[in-house]
Amino acid sequence: MDDQITISLSSDHALVLFEWLSSRDERDFSSAHPAEQRVLWDLESQLETKLPMLFDPDYAERVDRARHAIGR
């Protein structure tokens, strides 16, 4: 059975989560089960398609603003 679960994130939360996932390298997940690695990569891929600002010149500033907004 392939039930779907939908999670709703603010754009700030999605951006911070994407940045965290994309900043991990293979070593960070080397002890994870292959299925866990697959889930993390799939989540990163899905977030990437929903965040058009990833290629904006001010991307790093956007991430910083999102982190600040969430962390206050």
Residue 34, domain extent: 11-71
Cα 45 to chain centroid, rounded: 8
Q: What are the pLDDT tens digits along the chain (72 aa)?
A: 679 999 999 999 999 999 999 888 766 777 789 898 889 889 999 999 999 999 999 999 999 999 999 998
2 within domain boundaries: no
5 within domain boundaries: no
36 within domain boundaries: yes
54 within domain boundaries: yes
**Total structural domains in the chain?**
1
Could you give the dihedral angle defined by the CA atoms of residues 17, 19, 25 and 56, in that order, rounded to the nearest 10 degrees?
150
4 within domain boundaries: no
1 within domain boundaries: no
3 within domain boundaries: no
